[in-house]
């Protein structure tokens, strides 16, 4: 029996405003506990929230980039529940009039585009953090009041891989907007998943479970994978799936039940009387729309068209706005886009990955990068050497020219200089010479290799081949 | 003549002319508080204080020319003062000292006023109409010590009536300034919603609360409002509109002013003498040149139920923060029935910290917001609230102001209504609508019953037209002498203010 998973994701993203959503406290990560608090975010009696306009604009930007319908009239609501990390015992959130609704984003599945619906995007305040010690619990309110965006997808996702791709795509878009790093490992992006399975072709949905406690995109994929197998197994054994919240244990690679009986929480939402409703008029919408950058998928198409890049290269180069901008800057300096793309995707991105760094964290200017490519293309250094030079450039911050000069590794193309080495190689490898002359064409490549070794890779292999041929064919 | 019996504007003149110093004023207040406070109990936390009357440390640039130079201001226990106890007369906030001033307190200090450290008694969290719901016990009415002072700003009204304070700031969510002002024979003003910043006012119902003055006459109310009004970036519901010089609105002339008298406010159940005295006051206004019209505010009868849904709903959420985690008391009592320790702490702390009326309203409000009831109660109440607001808008298309009794009765006996919350709630029946509609309203003395108990006259005007209230109230006051009468407290003689 074939089963189809039905998945919806609820994503929370902290926005990177410098101050909190309803007060002037800093949002910096990793400070001393309770060092970034004030009477407002501590919810002391008599204090009132004042909306951070920037957080609001950021939220509208994301909603627009996710193709949402932007509410002309929106408001905040109180979500009431008691928890010690919530100083007012209610969270200022949005209930029936979220600022964005009915959007979508596209993911690629086997070369096809699949559209995943976005049900709603709304703005709220983050809660504090509980720290459990042996006999009691402590609370850190630094996180309280950090602007938090909730993005709820429709149940349009049908596999763990699609969920993974959705998160990647969402992260790309939000990072393009520059409003959040979406770093899931740091808890800046959090994701819960609703998952059920049904028989292929059935219209009725199965009973869903809610998965929590995933700490990475891969964790989300693995948790969903586990949960699908668990649910399918239950159904095949004619057992029922229980509607419940389950936690992912990344170590044990399994989900386990958090609550056995599902208590329906009544949050008693009602409009926040301390904040007047907001009008997002056409003027403001235009203004924010104008400030939106070109988004990843549009950029990818343009790269394919403008630079004749392969879909694969275009996709890689637009995966991050910084990388795309770097590429386009380089193209202005050195208009051979394909060569650049090759270098960036082949060497530069590999360097980034191996160092686990972002492009902006590297000590590499587009000018220096282009200089290196130019030297390689002009045959001043071999490609193999050039890759090493790039590594040194990143490590030291020096230019390609400086490194090549210091290490004395410019490519030798001068026939007189090469002849000397070639003569020695011919003398030392009489057998190979005989083989070649005897008709084994490949033997000459062995000789080229020997020359390269003797020259410490500085010899220009093309020139070596030419000289060898003319010498041996005499 | 004792200085404590004078109004702020009289004292300001004397201080300016150097006939007296601000310290003389404080001395005279101190003596009066020591004299009558054992009977009245308008202030809380007096016990064990070395000096009864401390003022919040201030040093204002240009003190000599400041507008409220040296005038002591007494404030309700729900208005925050940095470093001084602000407890809403609730056990749960015992020892709470906010690290900030309410915006109104800051404004008073900046205007050269002396904000008093001791605070006025009130119903716990402003839930009540008699000041009997205070964890410190009730305040007694200076006109009859057996009777209540009204509420919730009962301590303020009593302090003014007993000349234990010069001017005071209270808060009004459904009549909490006007009703005690009427019970104590003083002036009380609830400004337009958004006119005065609520920052630092410990919230009861955020969409209804306003801070306002309680004073000995209309001129002092105008003087004080001018100082405390205005937009505050810390309160998003305060309105960015220029603040007029309200003292310019004190014009002794109401010729051609159109006054509406709503028939719905003279219903069955209203005290016969209150009705009589109010009608006489309206007749007086007519004699002074006003044109009096009968009008209708058809949704008046829904005001009380609508109010008790919206106010309690908001209160249930506003009071959720009192949980023993950060401040106030935390109960360490064990409750063997609850295994979750944090839930246990919430329950015992709130169980011990809150009084009965607070519990009643929190439960009521929680219910009104609950799943399945929200539409039937809260949402419907909001719709009716809009209709009540529209009633007033329609009325103000034809009249300049509306005149009604402030309360259907005079001060009742202590303990008389405490067991009957519904009876108690009806004592706000005429004041609640102004909060629901967000419009300004003033109460001023307009006569006394045969038992010598004061009756209050309420005047209402369009939003942000406090000037109309001041003009009509001032004219009435200038042509009557009710506001000059003083109570005789338990054999302690009082001299008339003339």
How are beta strands A100-109 and A112-125 bridged, if at all? antiparallel
Has residue B316 been placed in a domain? no
pLDDT score, position B497: 42
Residues A248/A193, Cβ–Cβ less than 8 Å: no
Annotation says B176 is catalytic? yes
Highest mean pLDDT among A130-134, A401-405, A448-452: A130-134
Alpha-carbon distance B107 to B104, whole Å?
Answer: 5
Report d(CA B224, CA B8) in Å as an integer. Answer: 9
Query: What is the reported pLDDT for A202?
Result: 87
Does B233 contact chain A (CB < 8 Å)? yes
CA nearest neighbour of A319 among A291, A357, A349: A349
Contact present, B140 and B121 (Cβ < 8 Å): no
Other Cβ atoms less than 10 A from the Cβ of B361: the count is: 24
By mean pLDDT, which of A230-234, A249-253, A383-387, B417-421 is the weakest? A383-387
Average pLDDT, chain B: 94
The pLDDT of residue B496 is above 60: no
Is residue B372 domain-resident? Answer: no
What is the per-residue burial (b if ≥16 Cβ within 10 Å, else e) of A45-84? bbbbbbbbebbbbbbbbbbbbbbbebbeebbbbbbbebbb
B264: nearest Cα among B303, B305, B306: B303
Sheet holding A90-93, edge to edge: A90-93, A77-80, A270-271
More confident residue, B40 or B48: B40
What sign has the CA pseudo-torsion A250, A254, A256, A258? positive
Domain, as residue range, for B136? 3-251+459-484
Position B130 in a domain: yes
Query: Stretch A328-333: mean pLDDT, rounded?
Result: 94
pLDDT score of A465: 85
Residue A139's beta-bridge partner residues?
Answer: A130
Query: Is 0.85 exceeded by the ipTM?
Result: yes
Element (H, E) at B459: strand B454-461
How far apart CA B301 and CA B269 sit, in angstroms, is 13
- Helix boundaries (H) for A72-196: 160-177
Structure tokens at A343: 């270098």
Distance CA B435, CA B303 (A): 10
Please indicate whether, in this complex, the C-beta atoms of A82 and B98 are within 8 angstroms of each other.
Answer: no
From CA B487, how far away is CA B141, in angstroms rounded? 9
Contacts of A144 in chain B (CB under 8 A): none
Domains held by chain B: number: 1
pTM (two decimals) = 0.90
Please give the pLDDT value at position B498: 38
B221-280 pLDDT tens trace:
999 999 999 999 999 999 999 999 999 999 999 999 999 999 999 988 899 999 999 999
For residue B467, what are the CA distances in angstroms to A40, B176, B275?
Answer: 34, 21, 26
Catalytic site residue B76? yes
Whether A261 has a pLDDT exceeding 80, the answer reads no
Please tell me which of the candidates B79, B99, B323 has its beta carbon nearest to residue A39.
Answer: B99
- Residue A112, judged by CB atoms within 10 A of its CB (0-12, 13-18, 19+), counts as exposed
Would you say residue A421 has pLDDT above 90? no
Q: Of B76, B106, B107, B119, which one is the catalytic site residue?
A: B76
**Which pLDDT belongs to residue A1?**
66
pLDDT band at B495 (very low <50, low <70, confident <90, very high): very low
Identify residues of A whose CB sits under 8 angstroms from chain B CBs.
39, 42-51, 78, 80, 82, 84, 87-90, 137, 139, 264, 266, 268-270, 273-276
What CATH number did the domain enclosing B45 receive? 3.90.1300.10
Q: Where are the domains of chain A?
A: 3-284, 306-407, 415-472
Is residue B162 domain-resident? yes
Of residues B193 and B338, more confidently modeled: B193
Fold of A415-472: Arc Repressor Mutant, subunit A (1.10.10)
Of A72-86, A446-460, B282-296, B321-335, least confident by mean pLDDT is A446-460
CB contact under 8 A, B201 and A78: no
Give a yes or no: residue B100 inside a domain: yes
Residue B43, pLDDT > 50, answer yes
Q: Is residue B49 part of a domain?
A: yes
Query: Which residues in A lie closer than 8 A to residue B327 (C-beta atoms)?
Result: 44
Task: Give a yes or no: residue B440 inside a domain.
Answer: no
CA-to-CA separations, A178 to A15, A109, A306, A318, in angstroms, rounded: 9, 26, 25, 15
């Amino acid at each position: 029996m074939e089963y189809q998973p039905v998945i919806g994701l609820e994503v929370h993203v902290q926005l990177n405003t410098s101050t909190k959503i309803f007060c002037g406290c800093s949002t910096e990560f990793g400070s001393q506990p309770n060092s970034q608090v004030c009477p407002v975010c501590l919810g002391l009696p008599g204090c009132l929230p004042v909306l951070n306009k920037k957080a609001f604009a950021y939220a509208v930007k994301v909603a627009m980039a996710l193709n949402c319908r932007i509410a002309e009239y929106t408001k905040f609501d109180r979500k009431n529940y008691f928890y010690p990390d919530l100083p007012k015992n209610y969270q200022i959130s949005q209930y029936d009039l979220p600022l964005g609704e009915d959007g979508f984003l596209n993911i690629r599945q086997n070369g096809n585009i699949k559209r995943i619906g976005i049900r709603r995007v709304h703005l709220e305040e983050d809660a504090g953090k509980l720290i459990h010690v042996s006999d009691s619990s402590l609370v850190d309110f630094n996180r309280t009041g950090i602007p938090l965006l909730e993005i709820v997808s429709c149940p349009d996702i049908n596999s763990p891989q699609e969920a993974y791709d959705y998160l990647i795509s969402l992260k790309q878009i939000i990072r393009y907007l520059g409003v959040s790093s979406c770093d899931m490992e740091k808890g800046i992006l959090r994701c819960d998943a609703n998952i059920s399975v049904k028989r292929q072709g059935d219209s009725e949905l199965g009973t869903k479970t809610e998965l929590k406690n995933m700490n990475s995109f891969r964790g989300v994929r693995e948790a969903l994978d586990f949960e699908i197998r668990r649910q399918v197994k239950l159904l095949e054994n004619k057992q029922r799936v229980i509607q419940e919240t389950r936690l992912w244990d990344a170590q044990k690679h399994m989900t386990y039940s958090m609550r056995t009986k599902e208590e329906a929480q009544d949050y008693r939402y009602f409009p926040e009387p301390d904040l007047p409703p907001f009008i997002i008029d056409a003027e403001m919408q235009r203004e924010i729309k104008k400030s939106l950058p070109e988004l990843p998928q549009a950029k990818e198409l343009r790269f394919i068209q403008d630079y004749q890049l392969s879909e694969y290269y275009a996709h890689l180069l637009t995966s991050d706005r910084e990388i795309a901008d770097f590429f386009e800057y380089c193209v202005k300096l050195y208009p051979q886009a394909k060569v650049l793309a090759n270098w960036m995707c082949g060497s530069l991105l590999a360097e980034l990955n191996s160092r686990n760094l972002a492009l902006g964290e590297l000590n590499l200017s587009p000018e220096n990068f282009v200089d290196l490519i130019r030297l390689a293309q002009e045959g001043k250094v071999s490609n193999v050497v050039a890759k090493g030079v790039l590594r040194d450039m990143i490590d030291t911050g020096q230019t390609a020219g400086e490194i090549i000069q210091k290490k004395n590794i410019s490519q030798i193309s001068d026939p007189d200089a090469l002849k000397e080495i070639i003569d020695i190689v011919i003398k030392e490898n009489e057998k190979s010479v005989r083989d070649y002359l005897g008709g084994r064409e490949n033997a000459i490549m062995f000789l080229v290799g020997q020359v390269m070794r003797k020259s410490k890779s500085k010899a220009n292999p093309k020139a070596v081949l030419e000289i060898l041929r003319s010498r041996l064919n005499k | 003549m004792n200085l404590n019996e004078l109004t702020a504007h009289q004292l300001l003149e004397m201080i300016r002319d150097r006939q007296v110093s601000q310290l003389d004023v404080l001395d005279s207040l101190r003596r009066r508080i020591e004299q009558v406070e054992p009977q009245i109990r308008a202030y809380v936390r007096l016990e064990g204080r070395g000096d009864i009357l401390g003022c919040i440390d201030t040093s204002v640039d240009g003190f000599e020319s400041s507008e409220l130079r040296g005038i002591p201001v007494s404030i309700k226990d729900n208005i925050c003062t940095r470093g001084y106890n602000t407890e809403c007369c609730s056990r749960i906030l015992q020892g709470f000292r906010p690290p900030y001033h309410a915006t109104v307190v800051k404004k008073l200090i900046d205007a050269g006023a002396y904000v008093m450290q001791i605070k006025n008694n009130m119903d716990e969290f402003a839930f009540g109409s008699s000041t009997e719901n205070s964890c410190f016990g009730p305040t007694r009415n200076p006109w009859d010590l057996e009777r209540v002072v009204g509420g919730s700003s009962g301590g303020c009204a009593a302090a003014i009536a007993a000349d234990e304070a010069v001017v005071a700031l209270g808060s009004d969510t459904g009549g909490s300034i006007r009703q005690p002002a009427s019970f104590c024979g003083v002036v009380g003003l609830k400004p337009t919603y958004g006119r005065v910043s609520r920052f630092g006012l410990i919230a009861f119902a955020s969409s209804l609360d306003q801070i306002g003055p309680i004073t000995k006459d209309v001129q002092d109310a105008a003087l004080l409002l001018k100082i405390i009004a205005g937009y505050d970036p810390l309160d998003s519901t305060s309105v960015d509109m220029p603040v007029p010089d309200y003292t310019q609105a004190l014009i002794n002339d109401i010729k051609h002013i159109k006054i509406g008298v709503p028939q719905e406010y003279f219903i069955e159940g209203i005290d016969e003498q209150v009705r009589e005295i109010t009608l006489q006051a309206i007749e007086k206004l007519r004699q002074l040149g006003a044109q009096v019209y009968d009008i209708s505010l058809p949704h008046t009868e829904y005001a009380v139920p609508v109010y008790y849904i919206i106010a309690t709903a908001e209160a249930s959420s506003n009071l959720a923060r009192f949980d023993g985690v950060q401040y106030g008391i935390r109960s360490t009592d064990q409750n063997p029935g609850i295994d979750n320790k944090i839930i246990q702490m919430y329950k015992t702390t709130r169980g011990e910290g809150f009084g009965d009326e607070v519990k009643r309203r929190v439960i009521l409000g929680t219910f009104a917001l609950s799943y399945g009831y929200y539409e039937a109660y809260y949402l419907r109440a909001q719709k009716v609230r809009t209709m009540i607001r529209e009633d007033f808008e329609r009325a103000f298309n034809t009249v300049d102001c509306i005149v009604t009794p402030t309360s259907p009765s005079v001060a009742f006996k202590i303990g008389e209504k405490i067991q009957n919350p519904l009876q108690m709630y009806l004592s706000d029946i005429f004041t609640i609508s102004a909060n629901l509609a967000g419009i300004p309203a003033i109460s001023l003395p307009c006569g006394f019953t045969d038992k010598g108990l004061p009756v209050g006259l309420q005047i209402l005007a369009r939003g942000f037209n406090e000037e109309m209230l001041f003009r009509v109230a001032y004219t009435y006051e200038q042509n009557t002498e009710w506001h000059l009468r003083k109570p005789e407290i338990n054999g302690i003689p009082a001299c008339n203010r003339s």
